[in-house]
């Protein structure tokens, strides 16, 4: 039978990525080379940030029109272009990538789905499974972060993917025609061409692929010397604990001062004293003690917002040069709780014990404030607040935090006497406390709910495991529904046994 070759190309993209543009370029490319081409898409609301598919069939021009399909079929795709990593996974899942024929061109960057973003814990889909699936399913694989390549060239991903298509050399068209198509693509042709060209090769100029890591702290000599003394204490810790302890110590000293770092190490020592190899409990303690001691009070926020490094980071994020002018506006919403927290402990406690007064004050304070920290006035205001650091230890907030910290630590130490693994899980529950205002309150109540299960776990060999499961459940949703279900299941199982 007469059988001209039909080349089948599917493009999987997220709505808004410009899959239509890429489709149009491939059409133009094929037509410029005298080929017949048919393209289709499912447009409409499906394109509003959802997963979309574009589909093309190409064949040499002949006297008769061939019958071309309007949608890709599993096992019948020659070139699959995925404009995002999970879309590449979806392509494999739908059978559009098969080892006998499919060239898979995938951008490895992530556009997270809403379901991945709204989890209070870490909801990100594991990427390695997608990479494994791509390797396994594709005949030929070109996987790179084409989004970054495009952005670096000041363009959009359709251009870099088109470059990758040229690079794959699966289409029987000369590179010259690819270039012509991009060159004549309208107002942003120049940027498109740069992205196209950058994607033609996998020879990336990574710049200085700098080794990441911690630099020794800079500062006045006396402080650096005192820091060295603390570091010496860390060196005396068991090997496995040292790395986390250093990180924790930096975090804590950065938050307050060197003597606060000393307190940190004192606390850590209590765990090390009752721990033994492989020192999992101590490592966990090093991590969560630091997180607990570095709480998010007004002073810390003001400090972080006014730092030199922060200004540099913002300018870098926005890709600003030295001469560029930009203004930074912060969105603050202080409440009476934050105000009281910053007051000396007795005064703060006194106000909070008087709900009517607290409410009256709250009405004056509780308001969204947009402040321009790139301007001198508000920078100075925040700068002064950051300077309150020296009195932090006497604030009401500090008293609350340290009491909470000590209770939690004592609980962990007591637990460790019977079950060290369980004690580590108790410490890890600190992960539940995060966020500000209501979010934090919810986190605290989850933290309490999980730890309240502790008495029920007495003498159980799987106690640590159960507590870990409860914590993971608490991180699944905002309102703690999964945790509640898990607690119920656990309670009824405990009652039955």
220 near another protein (CB under 8 A): yes
Judged by CB under 8 A, the stretch of 123-131, 163-171, 395-403, 444-452 that binds another protein is 123-131
- In sequence order, what DSSP letters do the residues of 136-167 get, joined into one string? HH-SEEEEE-HHHHHHHTTS-HHHHHHHHHHH
**Nearest distance, CB of residue 283 and another protein, angstroms:** 10
Judged by CB under 8 A, the stretch of 117-125, 234-242, 418-426, 460-468 that binds another protein is 117-125
Element (H, E) at 52: strand 51-60
131 near another protein (CB under 8 A): no
- In sequence order, what DSSP letters do the residues of 227-296 get, joined into one string? HHHHHHHHHTS-HHHHHHHHHHHHHHHHHS-HHHHHHHHHHHHHHHHH--TT-HHHHHHHHHHHHHHS--
Question: How do beta strands 103-107 and 140-144 pair?
Answer: parallel
Tell me which DSSP letter residue 174 carries: -
Q: Which of residues 45-84 bind another protein (CB under 8 A)?
A: 45-53, 59, 64-76
One residue of 32, 33, 35, 125 binding another protein per CB under 8 A: 125
3 near another protein (CB under 8 A): yes
> Rounded to the nearest 10 degrees, how much is the dihedral formed by the CA atoms of 430, 124, 16, 320?
50
Site string for another protein, 357-376 (x = CB under 8 A): -----------x-x--xxxx
157 near another protein (CB under 8 A): no
Judged by CB under 8 A, the stretch of 339-347, 392-400, 427-435, 448-456 that binds another protein is 427-435
CA 43 – CA 122 distance, rounded (Å) = 32
Q: Which residue has the tokens 């068209």?
A: 173
Tokens matching residue 121: 């814990």
438 near another protein (CB under 8 A): yes
110 or 469: whose CB is closer to another protein? 110
**Nearest distance, CB of residue 486 and another protein, angstroms:** 19
Q: Which of residues 295-314 bind another protein (CB under 8 A)?
A: 296, 301, 304-311, 314
117 near another protein (CB under 8 A): yes
370, 334 contact by CB (below 8 A)? no
**Nearest distance, CB of residue 473 and another protein, angstroms:** 15
- Number of residues forming the site for another protein (CB under 8 A): 152
Beta pairing partners, 105: 81, 142
Q: Which of residues 161-200 bind another protein (CB under 8 A)?
A: 187
Tokens matching residue 430: 């600190």
Cβ–Cβ contacts within 10 Å for residue 92, how many? 23
Q: Which residue has the tokens 């770092």?
A: 261
167 or 252: whose CB is closer to another protein? 252
One residue of 201, 206, 207, 210 binding another protein per CB under 8 A: 210
342 near another protein (CB under 8 A): no
Q: Which of residues 379-418 bind another protein (CB under 8 A)?
A: 379-380, 383, 386-387
How far, CA to CA in Å, does 56 sit from each of 25, 73, 463? 11, 12, 57
Site string for another protein, 445-484 (x = CB under 8 A): ------------------------------x--x------
């Amino acid at each position: 039978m007469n059988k001209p070759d039909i080349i089948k190309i599917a493009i999987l993209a997220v709505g808004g990525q410009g899959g239509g543009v890429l489709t149009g370029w491939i059409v133009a490319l094929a037509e410029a080379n005298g080929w017949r081409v048919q393209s289709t898409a499912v447009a409409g609301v499906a394109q509003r940030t959802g997963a979309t598919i574009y589909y093309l069939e190409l064949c040499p021009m002949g006297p008769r029109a061939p019958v071309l399909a309007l949608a890709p079929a599993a096992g019948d795709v020659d070139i699959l272009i995925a404009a995002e990593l999970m879309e590449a996974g979806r392509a494999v899942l739908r059978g559009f990538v098969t080892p006998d024929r499919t060239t898979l061109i995938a951008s490895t960057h992530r556009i997270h789905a809403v379901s991945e973003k709204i989890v209070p814990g870490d909801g990100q889909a594991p990427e390695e499974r997608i990479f494994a699936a791509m390797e396994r399913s594709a005949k030929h694989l070109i996987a790179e972060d084409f989004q970054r390549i495009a952005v670096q060239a000041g363009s959009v991903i359709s251009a870099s993917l088109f470059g990758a298509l040229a690079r794959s050399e699966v289409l029987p068209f000369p590179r010259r025609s690819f270039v012509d198509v991009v060159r004549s693509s309208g107002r942003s042709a120049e940027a498109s061409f740069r992205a196209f060209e950058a994607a033609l090769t996998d020879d990336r100029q990574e710049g200085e692929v700098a080794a990441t890591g911690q630099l020794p702290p800079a500062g006045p000599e006396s402080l650096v010397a005192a820091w060295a003394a603390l570091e010496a204490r860390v060196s005396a810790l068991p090997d496995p604990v040292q790395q986390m302890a250093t990180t924790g110590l930096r975090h804590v000293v950065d938050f307050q001062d060197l003597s606060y770092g000393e307190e940190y190490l004192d606390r850590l020592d209590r765990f090390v004293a009752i721990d033994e190899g492989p020192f999992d409990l101590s490592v966990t303690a090093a991590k969560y003690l630091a997180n607990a001691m570095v709480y998010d009070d007004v002073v810390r926020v003001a400090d972080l917002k006014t730092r030199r490094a922060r200004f540099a980071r913002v300018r870098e994020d926005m890709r600003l040069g030295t001469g560029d002018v930009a203004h930074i506006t912060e969105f603050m919403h202080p409440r009476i709780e934050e105000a009281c927290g910053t007051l000396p402990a007795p005064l703060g406690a006194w106000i909070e014990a008087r709900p009517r007064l607290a409410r009256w004050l709250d009405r004056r304070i509780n308001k969204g404030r947009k402040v321009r920290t790139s301007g001198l006035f508000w920078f100075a205001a925040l700068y002064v607040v950051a300077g309150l650091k020296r009195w932090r230890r006497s604030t009401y907030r500090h008293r609350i935090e340290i009491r909470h910290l000590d209770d939690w630590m004592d609980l962990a130490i007591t637990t460790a006497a019977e079950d060290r693994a369980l004690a580590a899980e108790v410490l890890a529950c600190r992960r539940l406390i995060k966020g500000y205002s209501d979010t934090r309150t919810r986190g605290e109540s989850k933290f309490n709910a999980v730890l309240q299960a502790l008495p029920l776990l007495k003498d159980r060999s799987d106690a640590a495991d159960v507590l870990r499961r409860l914590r993971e459940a608490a991180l699944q949703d905002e309102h703690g529904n999964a945790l509640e279900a898990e607690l119920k299941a656990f309670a009824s199982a405990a009652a039955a046994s």
